[in-house]
Amino acid sequence: MKIRGAFTALVTPFRDGQVDEDAYRRHVEWQIEQGIDGLVPCGTTGEAATMDHEEQGRVIRMCVEQVKGRVPVIAGAGSNSTREAIELTRLAKEAGADATLQITPYYNKPTPDGLVGHFKAIAKAVPLPMIIYNVPGRTGLNLAPKTLARIAREVPEAIGVKEATGDLKQCTEVVELCGTDFLLLSGDDFTVLPLLSVGGMGVISVVSNLIPAKMHGLCAAYFDGDQTRAKALNIEIQALSRAMFMETNPIPVKTALAYMGRCLPGFRLPLAPLEEKNAEPLKTVLKAYGLLQ
């Protein structure tokens, strides 16, 4: 399993409140056709927080089945309850995921010892490579590089981190303390290229739901040494990336896919449809990128 390049944090299409399997499989297939390097089902963008365990396991399995081993699948399986994270990780492993994405426990506000213990317990119960997800804006907790280095030393299954802080100083410290074999992935579409430049190996992206070929191309250009093209693509995606966060993710990206005819614009509460005032600005950006007529 090679984790490098652009990985899409997949949306989960819904129809009448249920997972739209046909739309989901089509979206997975289109991502692969467009050259994406890997897929991440059941993360934040996939609205996993609104799924029960059986449903989450089924969505991961659908993704794995459709991928057919062509790209790595990193399945969202985290929770603020260690016992629940273990159960979700077990479901992900049974579904055939190559690795899991494990968010730092939210709400509980664990100490560094608690964080190390959390990931150690998951790895002991269900040995499977894991990418740790640091997203303070959603968890209220920033995983300090020193604590992450402890996890990297004490939990062999922890092979990398998805850094969604946008803090290049912190990301550089992660590489310094955890070493170059520990994967640093961007969780922030706005700083993909800068993060690659300090030792990052790719991105788990929201905007690549819409432009998988461009995000793949950005990463590939960087690794091929084509800095001119990488810089150009990085600038090119900025306006679309901003539009994906005009409201809470995944509201804009899923709405954009609906405008493009790729899925229905269904959400589960507490997420609500895109505000009417944002519909035209979103359509304007999509038209500018040639994604909408």
pLDDT of 179-206, one tens digit each?
999 999 999 999 999 999 999 999 999 9
> What residue type is assigned to position 27 of the chain?
H
Catalytic site includes residue 133: yes
CB of 59 closer than 8 Å to CB of 91: no
> What residue type is assigned to position 246 of the chain?
M
Name which of 196, 177, 178 is nearest 186 in CA terms.
196
Q: In terms of pTM, does the model score above 0.75?
A: yes
Residue 86 confidence (pLDDT): 98
Residue 1 confidence (pLDDT): 72
Instruction: Exactly one of 162, 214, 222, 254 is catalytic; name it.
Output: 162
Name which of 293, 237, 215 is nearest 261 in CA terms.
293
Catalytic site includes residue 283: no
> Any residues with CB less than 8 A from the CB of 3 and at least 6 apart, and which?
38, 72, 74, 99, 131, 159, 160, 183, 185, 201, 202
Cα separation values, 1 from 22, 99, 110, 256, Å? 27, 9, 31, 31
Instruction: Exactly one of 24, 93, 133, 254 is catalytic; name it.
Output: 133
> Any residues with CB less than 8 A from the CB of 104 and at least 6 apart, and which?
78, 110, 115, 132, 133, 134, 135, 139, 141, 143
pLDDT of 91-141, one tens digit each?
999 999 999 999 999 999 999 999 999 999 999 999 999 999 999 989 999
The stretches in the chain having pLDDT less than 50 are none
Residue 170 confidence (pLDDT): 95
Instruction: Look at strands 14-15 and 18-19 and give their pairing.
Output: antiparallel
Question: What is the rounded CA–CA span in Å between residue 188 and residue 276?
Answer: 26
Residue 293 confidence (pLDDT): 79
